[in-house]
Structure 1
Amino acid sequence: MEALIIAVAGLLVVAAATAFAPKLRVAAPLILVVVGIAISLLPFVPDVHVEGEWILAGILPPLLYSASVSMPAMNFRREFNAIGGLSVVLVVLSSVVLGLFFAWIIPGLGIWWGIALGAIVSPTDAVATSIVKRVGISGRVVSVLEGESLLNDATALVLLRSAIAGTAATISFWGVLGNFAYSVAVAGVLGFAIGHLNLWVRSKVTDATVNTVISFTVPFLASIPAELLGASGLVAAVVAGLVTGHGAARRLSPQHRLSDSQNWRVVELVLEGAIFLLMGLELSAIVTDVQYRNDGVGPAVVVAFGALILTLVVRAAYIAPLLAGLRRRARRSAQFKPRLDVMQQRLDGTLALPEAGSAAADERQVELARRAALANRPAPANRPAPNPEQIERVKTRTRRAIADIDYLLAAPLGWREGGVLVWAGMRGAVTLAAAQTLPLTGTPDRSFLILVAFMVAAFSLLIQGGTLAWFVRWIKPAGPDVEAEKQERRRVLELLTTIENTIRDAHPVPLEEQTEVQTDTAADAAQDPEQPPAQRFADMKRVTIEIIEAQRTALLDARDDGTFDADILNNALDNLDADQISIELKGQPLGQ
């Protein structure tokens, strides 16, 4: 009964923090950490301890799966270079630098245990994304932060395991590298397979509630086998989520997607809130243990502050050249774009090839022969004409390449955006959960290391998270381009209107009747005595749903090509889903 009371009280605290956070203009996770710390310091509150494995295996897989499902795969692909660097290279670099720092400042720790503690405090938390979204900033920054928070946890945990093995001198550098490659590769394959299997099974299920229940098992179906095979369960859950999120709009019904969205939002709220509340609640037990075994918490505070400053310095030192590389990539893309534009015009038939025998054609043939000679292959004079499928593939790749370049040029990442990326790199729940997986036997001064990890996470959340909104206003990075968004919405609306008009023109049902399915009455139906009212109503529903499905297909094709902004497309797809659900739920008109 006591556990039940605590659970109910915890849910109420999470709900209250979430409800009051917008009014206080503070992120809900920060409120929950502070509330948890305050409660843990009360004399009548017992010590709270949660095994780290429960968080790593029971809470993080569904949380990361939910976040990856909602992340646009197009943005993840476009920012993969930055995301991969921050998730892998920066985590490894931070772990090694912090490991040297910890080994130097903590007596008797050793380099491998130092790297293990460095791996614990290296991964960033996704809470920064919600804060950045609220203050309004470029969508590219949000995409990079979201992608980083999805993948860096797995890197840190694999490195943590390898460092612990290194303390026993049973692993080499190449062993660590091979272990990491195996962990990611196996997890990626499993996540990909589970994601597609998930879509196939759920596309056969008609009940939306059953469908959602099945979706709750997906992150565990991906993570548990991966962990049993020695791979990363978190990577498997993320990949399964990305595959599901990308394919759900084509494979699942609107009712299923709406049910998923609503229920997963609740699960995400409860689990995320529970993690941050537990972070605060565990403070008392950790502090008591350290005070009993050491000279107080003072040394831990000093070490934690030093580690937090060092993480920011290392992050800034890595992001600076990363942004320079992204700018070089954008410049090269801008130089290459005119050639792609010409190629697209020729593929679309709006720009003809030079006529045979003309000077331009002769110059083109000479250029092709020169390139063939340099490549040591025959000149393409008698090359067979490509088939329609090949032409269509080239068209698709060209459209995507042009859209990717437009995306890079529309929102460049400068030093202001880089400053936000540095300051938004907050530590959080993963750090504390990973710290509690340190072995009970063999870890030197385990309670002290856990307290250091906790304080790094808590200081990071409270200092960086508490000042992130102010920091964004002070540094003034580029925000969303309002005018460009308006133009995008107009283009999307024009596309939808064109599809609607084309389908309506192909059907004999009068326009005013097609557009008023929701208000059709018996009196309206009586206007056409040649057709039964029920049949006429069914035809109008069929035509309207046909329009919506055609519009959805066009939007998904545009999403795959990267033609429009991901957030605008998602909003348009949500509106289509709502319209289709509303129409499908309507019964016969009144009086029939």
Structure 2
Amino acid sequence: MDLAIPLVLGALAVIVVTAFAPRLGIAAPLILVVVGVAVSFLPFVSAVELEPELILGGVLPPLLYSSAVSMPTMDFRRDFKLIGGLSVILVIVTAVIIGWVLYLVVPDINLPMGIALGAIISPTDAVATSIVKRLGVSPRIVTILEGESLLNDASALVVLRSAVAAMAGAVSLGHVAWDFVYAVVVAVAVGFVVGRVSLLLRSRIKDPVLNTAASFVVPFVAYLPAEHLGASGLVAVVVTGLVMGQGAPRYLRPQDRRAEESNWRTVELLLEGAVFLLMGLELFGLVTEVHEEHQSAMKAVMIAAVAFVGVLVVRTAFLVPFLFALRRDRRELKQQRAALARAQERLDQGLPSFSGGPFPPGRGPGGRTLSDREKRRLKRRAERERKRRGGMDADQLAARKTRVQQFIDRRVADIDYLTGEPLGAKQGVVLVWAGMRGVVTLAAAQTLPETVTGNDDYHRALLVLIAFIVAAGSLFLQGGSLGWVVRHLGLASEDAGAARAERQQLVAELAGTAAAECARDDLTRADGSAYDPGVVDLVRRESVRIVDENGFDLVPGTENTRYDQYRELRIRVIRAQRDELLRIRDVGTYSADALGDVLEYLDADEIGIELRGAHDEDDPAPRAAE
């Protein structure tokens, strides 16, 4: 009973704050932290101290899994260079530089302690993603921030573990490097296997309730074995989520995916709100403990200020050259775009597709002039290509042409995406200012040991309080002003016209798929009988109208056979459209938002038709005539 009351009150606080936060124009996590801080100083509230395993092993796996499932893997792949740099290289650089700075300016902090604190405050929090989404910022910026927050937790924890070991003088640079590589490689393997096996097993579960219940277990199935093997359980969870999100439309029924999405949004809301509330509740206990050890918390405030400024400076210094490099890559991408257009012309003419790579003749990456040796090597490759084509039959040539066409289409779509949404100075400012710290920082601080052998100057409470101040300060300073920054830079967009036009274009493409499916020569029912021509014509017309207008007003007729045919053929056409949509998704010619919206339309149509069929079977009453 004692535990039930705070749980109920906490859940109510999360629900109420989340409901009223949009009216106040303030992000719900910020309000929840304030509420937690206020409650922590009430005289009848005991000091709260979080168990790190509760956050790292109980809360973060489902939160990261939920974010990874909804992550557009196509966009994640396109910006993986920047995401990887922010989530790995920047974390390591931040930890080392902040460690050196604190070691030089704070007498009580030695180098390993400084690096440990730097590792704790280096990972960003996903709360920034929800803020920039609401402001209408470019989807590319959202993907980069979300991808960074998914992967940098593991990098920070590996560096932190090595720094804690260094406090006792028992670590080497080689050991740190091996530990990091092992943690990532094994975690990726575990996550991929768990994701694929989960898809295969869940595809056999036909009850949406049981399927959703199984999804709640998946993140822990990925986390626990990876941690047992000494790898990063969080990376394994993220990889599993990416695999599940990519494969779910192919393996799981629309009912299962929509039920899972709704339930996971509820879980994500409560867990994320709870950890920010608990973050605020910890403040009183931290201040009390530091005051007992150091007589004042002002020391922690000053050190936190230095660390906070240092984090922003390092992040800015890292992003500036990275963005300049991306600008240089844009020029190279435009050259590749022109070369791919020439390759497309050769393919349309039936000529060998290989012409020395996706660059102008005689040129390499960045417009570099190729040496004679490189030209000869490319010429030999082209000759081998022609010989291989000469030994292929018609089917092999057609299959090869299809693969080449897919490569060209995908690469062109990638180039159009990267050049169509460039990352300039304004976008760089948003990426810097949106790098807020949050729950992961506090959870990582809680993993610090109570004592360190051979290090009498180690003050755990001080380090944890510094981490709290940096996290809370970044949430309020950066999170509270991020909206103003985005609007001041002119990056906020509320124009839905372009998105609507893109969806209409995608819908028109899928309408062609529906027409082609209805016009197939082998279009027969499951029992081998032919469809009524009137039903086929009706399905063809309805397939275009339903998806385009997102409506369904067909009144079933009195002829059950025709209606059964209609329902069967409509579902068949919808599934053909979904297959085509997933093919288009793999190529990447449309945005993730447009693909997601149209997929929801198709799922809703199929669910509605199947539900209507089930109701008709339960209630065989006469129906109105057409």
Q: Which moved more, 1:470-479 or 1:172-181?
A: 470-479
Work out whether residues 123 and 441 of structure 2, in 8 Å CA contact, stay in contact via their aligned partners in 1. yes
Alignment RMSD: 2.2
Deviations 1:266-322 (A, max 9, x none): 110111011100000010111111111112111111111111111011100001111
Match of 2:502 in 1: 488
Aligned counterpart, 1:433: 443
After superposition, give the CA deviation of every residue in 1:330-367 in whole Å (9 maximum; x if it has no partner). 110101111102222433x3x4549xxxxxxxx99xx9
Q: Which runs of structure 2 are paired with 1:323-362 in the superposition (5 Å)?
A: 323-347=323-347, 349=348, 351=349, 353=351
Check conservation: 2:304, 2:469, Cα contact below 8 A. yes
| Alignment-derived partner of residue 140 in structure 1 | 140
Instruction: Give the C-alpha shift of residue 389 in structure 1.
Output: 2.7
Query: Secondary structure of the residue that 1:174 maps to in structure 2?
Result: helix
| Residue of structure 2 in register with 1:457 after alignment | 471
Matching residue's letter, 2:622: G
CA distance in 2, matches of 1:519, 1:374: 63
What's the CA shift string for 1:146-182, capped at 9, x where partnerless? 1000000000001100111122222111110110000
* CA gap 1:490/1:579 in 2 versus in 1, 3 angstroms: same
Q: Separation in 2 of the partners of 1:375 and 1:343?
A: 15
1:359-438 map, 5 Å: 373-374=376-377, 377=380, 380=383, 383-385=387-389, 387=396, 388-438=398-448
The aligned residue for residue 19 of structure 2 is: 19
Residues 135, 493 of structure 2: 8 Å contact kept: no
Q: Which residue of 2 aligns with 1:570?
A: 596
1:547 equivalenced with 2:573 (yes/no): yes
SS of the residue corresponding to residue 383 of structure 1 reads helix
Is contact 1:222-1:233 (8 Å) kept? yes
In the TM superposition, what is the alpha-carbon distance from 1:100 to its structure 2 partner? 1.1
Over 3 Å counting, the alpha-carbon distance change for 1:346 and 1:483 in structure 2 is farther
Amino acid at match of 2:534: V
One of 504, 509, 528 as aligned partner of 2:534: 509
Distance 1:177 1:551 in 2: 47
| Cα contact 2:65–2:238 (8 A) shared by 1 | yes
Q: 1:159 to 1:538 in 2, by over 3 A?
A: same
Further displaced range: 488-497 or 461-470: 488-497
- Whole-angstrom CA distance in 2 between matches of 1:173 and 1:257: 45
Q: Once the two structures are superposed, what CA deviation does each residue of 1:541-590 show, in whole Å capped at 9, x if it has no partner?
A: 01111111111111110110011011110111011111111110013275
Relative to structure 1, the CA distance from residue 513 to residue 157 in structure 2 (aligned partners, 3 Å threshold; closer, same or farther) is: same
Query: What's the secondary structure of 2:3's corresponding residue?
Result: helix
Detail structure 1 runs of 4+ shifted over 6 Å in the superposition.
369-372
Q: Deviations over 1:396-424 (max 9, x none)?
A: 11111100000011110100000000000
Aligned twin of 1:358: none
Give the total of aligned pairs: 571
| Paired amino acid for 2:488 | W
Aligned to 1:357: none
After superposition, where does 1:120-159 map in structure 2 within 5 Å?
120-159=120-159
- Structure 1 392/371 Cα, relative in aligned 2: closer, same or farther at 3 Å? farther
Structure 2 CA distance, aligned partners of 1:13 and 1:249? 35
Letter in 1 for 2:583: D
8 Å CA contact retained: 2:535, 2:562: no
The answer to whether 1:466 aligns with 2:476 is no
- What is the aligned partner in structure 2 of residue 225 from structure 1? 225
Query: Whole-Å Cα distance in 1 between the matches of residues 141 and 405 of structure 2?
Result: 29
Tell me which amino acid in the other structure corresponds to 2:52: G
The amino acid that maps onto 2:506 is V
Does residue 58 in structure 1 map to residue 54 in structure 2?
A: no
Superposition pairs of residues 93-172 of structure 1, within 5 angstroms: 93-172=93-172
Cα distance change on mapping 1:392 and 1:44 into 2, 3 Å? same
- Unpaired runs of 5+ residues, structure 2, are 353-360, 363-369, 521-530
Superposed counterparts of 1:277-288, under 5 Å = 277-288=277-288
CA–CA distance in 1 between the matches of 2:257 and 2:115?
A: 43
Contact 1:113/1:163 (<8 A) preserved: yes
CA contact under 8 A between 2:124 and 2:437: conserved in structure 1?
A: yes
Tell whether the 8 Å contact from 1:137 to 1:480 is kept in structure 2 after alignment. no
Distance, in Å, in 1 between the alignment partners of 2:66 and 2:164 is 30
Residue 371 of structure 1 deviates from its aligned partner by: 6.8
- 2:180 paired residue number: 180
Alpha-carbon shift at residue 122 of structure 1 (Å): 0.4
Structure 1 residue aligned with 2:622: 591
In structure 2, do the counterparts of structure 1 residues 379 and 437 end up closer, same or farther at CA, with 3 Å as the change threshold? closer
The answer as to whether partners of 1:49 and 1:282 remain within 8 angstroms in 2 is yes
Separation in structure 1 between the aligned mates of residue 159 and residue 276 of structure 2, nearest angstrom:
24
Question: Deviations 1:167-207 (Å, cap 9, x if unpaired)?
Answer: 22221111101100000000000000000011000001111
Rounded Cα–Cα distance in structure 1 between residues aligned with 2:379 and 2:248: 46
| Cα distance in 2, alignment partners of residues 168 and 575 from structure 1 | 58
CA contact (8 A) 1:203 1:251 kept: yes
Instruction: Specify the alignment match of 2:491 in structure 1.
Output: 477
**Which moved further from structure 2: 387-396 or 559-568?**
387-396
User: Quick one: distance in 1 between partners of 2:382 and 2:117?
Assistant: 60
Structure 1: unaligned runs, 5 residues or longer: 355-362, 526-532
